[in-house]
Amino acid sequence: MDDNKFKGRPDGNGSGAGSGWAERVSLPDHLRPPLPDSRSSDEPVAAEEEEFALPVAEPDGEIPDTAASDGILPDPEEVDSAEPRTTPPDTVPVPEPEGAFDLDDPALYLNRELTWLNFNYRVLAEAADSRVPLLERLKFLAIVSSNLDEFFMKRIGGLKQQVGAGLAELSEDGRTPQQQIDECYTVVRDLEARKRDVFLEVASALAGHDIVIAGYDDLNEEDQEWVRRHYVENIYPLVTPQATDPAHPFPFISNLSLNLLVTLRLPGDPFPSLARVKVPVGTGTPRFLTLPDRNVFVPLEQVMAANLDLLFPGMEIDACELFRVTRNANTELEEDEADDLLAMIETELRQRRLAPIVRLEVVPGTDPVHRGMLAAELGLDEESDVFEMEGTLGLADLWQLVGVEAPDLKDRPHHPVDHPKIVSDRSIFHTIRDSGSLLVHHPYESFSTSVERFLSEASLDPKVRAIKMTVYRTSADSKAVDYLIEAARNGKQVTAVVELKARFDEAANIRWANRLSGYGIHVTYGVVGLKTHCKAVLVVRQDYDGLRRYAHIGTGNYHAGTARLYADIGLLTCDPDIGSDLTELFNYLTTGYKPRRNYRKILPAPKILKPAILEKIAREIEQHEEYGNGLIQMKLNALEDVDVTRALYEASRAGVKVDLVVRDTCRLRPGIEGLSTNVRVVSVVGRFLEHARVYYFHNGGDEEFYLG
């Protein structure tokens, strides 16, 4: 979602691509998965992303059983008209079994980009589901729109760079970059058409509850006068028309901006001229103007188009056409050539603003000459890169309407519970020490009374000597950062590893790094060439029997907002092995020195995690051959790594049961007779964004759990 919105990120690292870990967890009996037996062959749903994991001691926290019931993709037949609108087009043929399989055959692997787009059909199914409250359906429409914007910025932008560089290397599924672009465009056009239909249905239903998205021309005269007056007083001073003629070069068009192309002429002049007017959304100005005392929303671009006489007095307006552009976000520089990583990221952000345009959206009825002119000026192929969009452009702005006060049209409020062992009248350090480890499951269990309290007590406790923490994404009003500052003020040694390359949060993280440095906190930016994606806090405390290391490790960011929206798992522990491992990990992150480090329980990526996962899959095959009860279960954001996919094929072929819960991209094809018959893949989409990574290996009865 920012990253604070529910979304499947198209820039997933793939298995083992990042600095993360895995932790072994021993769960209570009632939470353990069943042993393999005869199962129904459910029709699987494909899904992308993954990174690391970490082994833990005995956790006492129980995972609430509501997690699985909060967002299973509905049966299309139970959703009003959902199937014709939300089923992705068939783009990849399933290979026919012909004896032994060649695991290098590209036909065995699904395309990363196409399966990520398929994930958005599943999100769109939520918007199409009449059982979902109306404003929540609107939210899912906004999410799909935001996801597609990011898809063009990151994935299509990257593929276009490959094409521009003359690269024709085939993807693991056997496609050239241009073939991937072409197939993605086919799917995107279908997805956009279905999204438009769902939007019209939802908008119509909202109107029945007096929440109306109205065109300017639909307003009565009194409302039009109010809107015009509001526009003149609050928005008009922000608007600057720009001529496009030989004396005025074609203006710069910013990323994701809405723009009006105005055709106008002097009275009696047979020759028209053109002007571009940017719709000033995103400068504190809302996309939709709201009528007083009513939930009537008018798109700002329509207000501006109807009042062009203010910008062009005395001119005749022949036409006003809306367009929107998307720029490439792939402007990464070479880190190992940078003298100052922070300065390099600041340069990268400036370059991203001027990056090549990868998509032009226009409305139906746009003059073909103007359409061609825009494509040429923006450096696009008119036939492929121009998307004619019926209806409202930029539906990500629907988030504004989701905030309407209408409790009956939203999910019932969710109130997390406190972890039963963390009580308010006892030090959280004493609780952790007595328990060994506590497993917390957000948002079902409170983030504020567990993780934030851990940081708060650490910042104030006079026995705490040092705090080390990774910062990947956090909120504007982050308590986590405030607690680090408070700890520094209280004389504790504080270290923050701030990841400057968190996609689309770079500017915010630069501000955090500067702010933390200003309080004397030791700030580093991780290891050159790697993203520090792991989430960890290490607290060193002087206990009665000497120094003890307390830690939090989790699958989610230290972000109170996403902790309410993302389904994540965290571990509070004083396990000495984990404390020792995290000490080594932070030493690596703050120095970049690469001597072999002897980790006891954590499996940091990229050097250790992937080989460990492959070794454990191979071990499960051996155990199955001996005991006949092989079982692998994984919950992932994405399964993108081909080597891991190939190993899971091998496990299935050997008879090991493989259960995968994959949120978005998935390269593995389940259900291929003789190859992946024993693999079941499901995708959970619902109220909360599934974000936790969990790995389970039956291991002949000596079960292993990893989280990360």
Q: Which of 86, 112, 125, 106 is nearest to 183 (CA)?
A: 112
Residues β-bridged to residue 696: 633, 705
Average pLDDT over residues 172-186: 97
CA separation, residue 594 to residues 18, 94, 468, 584, 604 (Å): 15, 43, 20, 11, 13
pLDDT band at 246 (very low <50, low <70, confident <90, very high): confident
Sorted by where each begins, the domain ranges of the chain are 216-402, 428-591
The answer to whether the Cα torsion of 488, 489, 491, 492 is positive or negative is: negative
- Judge if 216-402 and 428-591 fold alike in CATH terms: no
Q: Can you identify the CATH homologous superfamily of domain 216-402?
A: Polyphosphate kinase middle domain (3.30.1840.10)
Calculate helix-pair angle for 453-460, 428-435, nearest 10 degrees. 110
Q: Which of 488, 483, 571 is nearest to 534 (CA)?
A: 571
Residues β-bridged to residue 538: 468, 551
**Strand ranges of the sheet holding 357-362, from the earlier edge strand across to the other edge:** 241-244, 273-279, 258-265, 316-327, 357-362, 386-388
Burial tier of 270 (Cβ tally within 10 Å: 0-12, 13-18, 19+): exposed
Q: What is the mean pLDDT of the chain?
A: 85
Q: Which of 442, 533, 552, 559 is catalytic?
A: 533
- How confident is the model at residue 213, as a pLDDT? 98
Q: Which of 580, 657, 586, 583 is nearest to 617 (CA)?
A: 657
Instruction: Identify whether 691 is a catalytic site residue.
Output: no
- Phi and psi angles of residue 528, each rounded to the nearest 5 degrees, phi first: -60, 130
Q: Which of 232, 277, 275, 233 is nearest to 258 (CA)?
A: 277
Query: Residue 425 has which token pair?
Result: 């009248």
End-to-end CA distance of the chain: 20
- How confident is the model at residue 54, as a pLDDT? 40
**Does residue 91 have a pLDDT over 70?**
no
Name 650's Cβ contacts closer than 8 Å, sequence gap at least 6. Answer: 103, 617, 618, 621
* Pairwise CA distance, residues 392 & 411, whole Å: 25
State the maximum Cα–Cα separation within the chain, in Å, rounded to a whole number: 93
Lowest mean pLDDT among 109-118, 304-313, 507-516, 670-679: 507-516
- Phi and psi angles of residue 206, each rounded to the nearest 5 degrees, phi first: -65, -35
CATH architecture under which domain 428-591 falls: 2-Layer Sandwich (3.30)
In this predicted model, what pLDDT tens digit does every residue of 443-460 receive, in sequence order? Answer: 999 999 999 999 999 999
Residues β-bridged to residue 495: 468, 522
In this predicted model, what pLDDT tens digit does every residue of 535-583 receive, in sequence order? Answer: 999 999 999 999 999 999 999 988 888 889 999 999 999 999 999 999 9
Query: Residue 448 has which token pair?
Result: 């504020």
CA separation, residue 223 to residues 231, 356, 392, 405 (Å): 12, 41, 21, 22
Other beta carbons less than 10 A from residue 593's beta carbon: 9
**Does residue 83 have a pLDDT over 50?**
no
In this predicted model, what pLDDT tens digit does every residue of 588-634 receive, in sequence order? Answer: 999 988 766 789 999 999 899 999 999 999 999 999 999 999 999 99
**Does residue 323 have a pLDDT over 90?**
yes
pTM across the whole model: 0.84
Average pLDDT over residues 24-46: 34
- Phi and psi angles of residue 423, each rounded to the nearest 5 degrees, phi first: -110, 155
Q: Which of 686, 635, 624, 682 is nearest to 657 (CA)?
A: 624
Burial tier of 65 (Cβ tally within 10 Å: 0-12, 13-18, 19+): exposed
DSSP structure class, residue 53: B
Q: Which of 58, 286, 202, 131 is nearest to 687 (CA)?
A: 131
* Pairwise CA distance, residues 9 & 664, whole Å: 8
At 250, which amino acid appears? F
Q: Which of 397, 227, 392, 367 is nearest to 306 (CA)?
A: 227
Average pLDDT over residues 244-254: 86
Lowest mean pLDDT among 45-59, 160-174, 186-200, 356-370: 45-59
pLDDT band at 39 (very low <50, low <70, confident <90, very high): very low
* Pairwise CA distance, residues 333 & 350, whole Å: 12
* Pairwise CA distance, residues 278 & 257, whole Å: 7
Residue 505 contacts residue 562 (beta carbons within 8 Å): no
* Pairwise CA distance, residues 210 & 222, whole Å: 18
* Pairwise CA distance, residues 614 & 642, whole Å: 11
Average pLDDT over residues 411-434: 97
- How confident is the model at residue 447, as a pLDDT? 95
Residue 356 contacts residue 308 (beta carbons within 8 Å): no
Q: What is the DSSP string of 227-268?
A: HHHHHHHHTGGG--EEEEBTTBPPPP--TT-EEEEEEEE-TT
Residue 532 contacts residue 497 (beta carbons within 8 Å): yes
